[in-house]
Structure 1
């Protein structure tokens, strides 16, 4: 009998620390040395639902929604549904008081099926067709982001009741002629109510100086619209996520610091242009769901190759997101003991040179379950496909595991084949 048998609590003390900057906040080791998320052992999920499987911690998603609302009490927070467009996620975030930002008819359908009030929807109009504009108008979405005279013409033709619109602009000195043309077209339409500007600050706006500079230029553009058209716009929608760390050394924006940056930049810019302070909408997506997600893989083979390298193959297939070149991976099904190695982790179709360098126990073997952190958003997932189809998505909360999206089957794939 070992000390671990006599004192099971020593398992967690001896296990590597799971950094909650990368893993879901409710990630721990149980008395058997297995990783748990939302009080559910990841090995149990792998056994029940198979692998690969995406796991989402519901409480973690809700926690991040509340953090945004607490930090920005006077702003509207809109979840960018493209990060993970499934009905349960949309329902969770709206229950936490968030609006929804969408960019396709499929995302619109998901939002409506989740019971979202259309007035809480921000619809992005990139390359919108006349039919799509007609559908949006019939539903009565709250705000539509337009970026061209053609898009404005579609929205205006489809709208009978006054429709709130925002012009998509670039946060840089002197916006483009396209933005000028779109603004001119919008103010000329009597059934469109131009209420503000939308911009995208980028996927990782961790540079506070860049954020402040962008806001200054946006207020300058608000002042330009006031000067050119006699219209005072009252809203700024700031799209773009806040840096999502993939490794313990990664950098994320500290929300209180971001709030101070935005607040100070607005005060300064509005004072400079003597412009009334606009209301703010933020559109986080990946920063809501990415760190709430973990992807499970079962090891298929462990092969030693030249130069003392070890290649660990899993059954999934890595996606093309460059950020997957950095990944935090942990052994989920047992307490890792003994020495560790730097292994090359590969998916089903990867060559060894395409693999990801990860730290694993030296005794890793086929059948082990690996957990990859920070994979709650589509673009952050280490895998998106298998030899059959897309993996299931399973929610965990307070000891319960609930399947949100079932695994795609061969029958699903063949059903779409018309020949």
Structure 2
């Protein structure tokens, strides 16, 4: 019935997540409210880790792509489950550091890392910096020299793969802000250049072809293209690439129409390609890295809202307004992303009307779902948007000076706050009135 197995309906006809009644969660913590099922997050981590251990004989690591949801508690959980971390900013790195994640389990991505971020990362001896461009390569070599270190690096490669996803989340084709391309030779050239530098060591290559992908073939093709490139580098400039990072992008079930492939099947299928190509090309099997993010946390999360008004524009549309919106979930405004929704206080009520769920921001485009089939909705109802564990809190904002909601972690009927609700003092915390005003 639901897009996530974390959800159920209890005897009061209320929606439950992680053994917690959503109506009671709202009574205790208010709305809007992010809720995450800890057990499902851990289960998803184990699925990936077990598949990596099985299909690559333990010769690899699963990194949680923390941009999906970065909090100290989430970093702690994925570390406890044996995963590493993929960070894309100094802030995400600092969060991991404060959560106690070992620095030798962290990979640093990003297309424009600042000098200060690179200094910070290198000073902390993180496991890998994934280099995006020539300017960054030069900065890393310079900073490493100043710190008296040799830094292990990978290069982000654009393999020229069409991932069949939304244009904004395709990242493997040549026209992308990320990485260096194979087609025009720049990937080959930058690795040759790096091999002559004193304070960096080329150990790996990385690709990421996009997000929310349901098809196996792009992943298999990306692995083939990358291994052929590794063979070329070995044969022509005698550099043996030890590590192949195949990124993430595995699709999840946002709506009942979505049909994602089991994640361990992704890993098994790609491992067959990797082993076959390595045998064909005479390559040593590289250390394999994968970077799931959305698929670990999105299905484990929901967002709870309170309905404030129902506006029926006759023969046009019915708007259901909630006390959140694009400030806590900008994905509809960005991508017209689709979600399922449930009335949490009447969870199995028949869906009898088509409505558009609107947020409270002063923007016409502030919607959470358009023309979605729902039960009869009244002011005061509690509305749950499903599969919101990824890219909701992490992309939230204070637009219209709206405080961010809290994040609550639930497990076996117990709820704990892992991010506190912001208040108005948080909104003005960094405001300054100059003395001459």
Question: TM-score scaled to structure 2, two decimals?
Answer: 0.86
Please show how residues 20-35 of structure 1 align to structure 2 within 5 Å. 22-23=3-4, 25-35=5-15
Cα distance 1:411–1:352, how it changes in 2: closer, same or farther (>3 A)? closer
Between the aligned partners of 1:179 and 1:132, the Cα distance in structure 2 is 24
Please, which moves more after superposition, 291-300 or 193-202? 193-202
Q: How far did 1:325 drift?
A: 4.2
Between the aligned partners of 1:414 and 1:373, the Cα distance in structure 2 is 31
1:375 aligns to what SS in structure 2? coil
2:274 aligns to what SS in structure 1? helix
Q: Contact conserved, 2:409 with 2:415, CA < 8 A, in 1?
A: yes
Tell me what 2:27 maps to.
47
1:326 aligns to what SS in structure 2? coil
Between the aligned partners of 2:276 and 2:320, the Cα distance in structure 1 is 54
Q: Contact conserved, 1:294 with 1:371, CA < 8 A, in 2?
A: yes
Between the aligned partners of 1:261 and 1:279, the Cα distance in structure 2 is 17
1:291-326 deviation per Cα after TM superposition (whole angstroms, max 9, x unaligned): 111000100011221217422111112344245542
Q: How far did 1:335 drift?
A: 4.8
Q: How far did 1:28 drift?
A: 1.2
2:321 aligns to what SS in structure 1? strand
Q: Does structure 1 residue 122 correspond to structure 2 residue 110? A: no
Equivalent of residue 407 in structure 1, options 398, 415, 421: 421
Equivalent of residue 308 in structure 2, options 293, 296, 300: 300
Cα distance 1:181–1:370, how it changes in 2: closer, same or farther (>3 A)? same
Equivalent of residue 212 in structure 1, options 194, 200, 220: 220
Between the aligned partners of 1:382 and 1:51, the Cα distance in structure 2 is 18
Q: Contact conserved, 2:69 with 2:391, CA < 8 A, in 1?
A: yes
What root-mean-square deviation, in Å, do the aligned CA atoms of Structure 1 and Structure 2 show? 2.2
Q: How far did 1:374 drift?
A: 0.7
Tell me what 2:278 maps to.
270
Between the aligned partners of 1:115 and 1:369, the Cα distance in structure 2 is 37
Tell me what 1:255 maps to.
263
Between the aligned partners of 1:146 and 1:123, the Cα distance in structure 2 is 9
Tell me what 1:416 maps to.
430
Equivalent of residue 46 in structure 2, options 63, 66, 86: 66
Please, which moves more after superposition, 376-385 or 143-152? 376-385
Tell me what 2:382 maps to.
369
Please, which moves more after superposition, 290-299 or 227-236? 227-236
Equivalent of residue 331 in structure 2, options 313, 321, 324: 321
Q: Does structure 1 residue 93 correspond to structure 2 residue 78? A: yes
Equivalent of residue 408 in structure 2, options 383, 394, 399: 394
Q: Contact conserved, 1:325 with 1:356, CA < 8 A, in 2?
A: no
Q: Contact conserved, 2:331 with 2:391, CA < 8 A, in 1?
A: no
Please, which moves more after superposition, 324-333 or 30-39? 324-333
2:267 aligns to what SS in structure 1? helix
Q: How far did 1:63 drift?
A: 0.6
Q: Contact conserved, 2:34 with 2:303, CA < 8 A, in 1?
A: yes
Q: Give unmatched runs, 5+ long, in structure 2.
A: 161-180
Between the aligned partners of 1:304 and 1:378, the Cα distance in structure 2 is 31
1:128-161 deviation per Cα after TM superposition (whole angstroms, max 9, x unaligned): 2332222111100001101222212211222223
Q: Contact conserved, 1:62 with 1:96, CA < 8 A, in 2?
A: yes
2:16 aligns to what SS in structure 1? strand
Please, which moves more after superposition, 25-34 or 300-309? 300-309
Q: Give the paired residue count.
A: 398
Between the aligned partners of 1:41 and 1:182, the Cα distance in structure 2 is 55
Q: Contact conserved, 1:299 with 1:314, CA < 8 A, in 2?
A: yes
Tell me what 2:127 maps to.
142
Between the aligned partners of 1:281 and 1:63, the Cα distance in structure 2 is 19
Q: Contact conserved, 2:64 with 2:85, CA < 8 A, in 1?
A: yes
Question: TM-score scaled to structure 1, two decimals?
Answer: 0.89
Q: How far did 1:418 drift?
A: 2.3
1:221 aligns to what SS in structure 2? helix
Cα distance 1:50–1:90, how it changes in 2: closer, same or farther (>3 A)? same
Q: How far did 1:255 drift?
A: 1.8
1:381-413 deviation per Cα after TM superposition (whole angstroms, max 9, x unaligned): 997668622111111111111111111211111
Cα distance 1:162–1:335, how it changes in 2: closer, same or farther (>3 A)? closer
Q: Give unmatched runs, 5+ long, in structure 1.
A: 1-16
Cα distance 1:339–1:100, how it changes in 2: closer, same or farther (>3 A)? closer
Q: How far did 1:353 drift?
A: 9.8
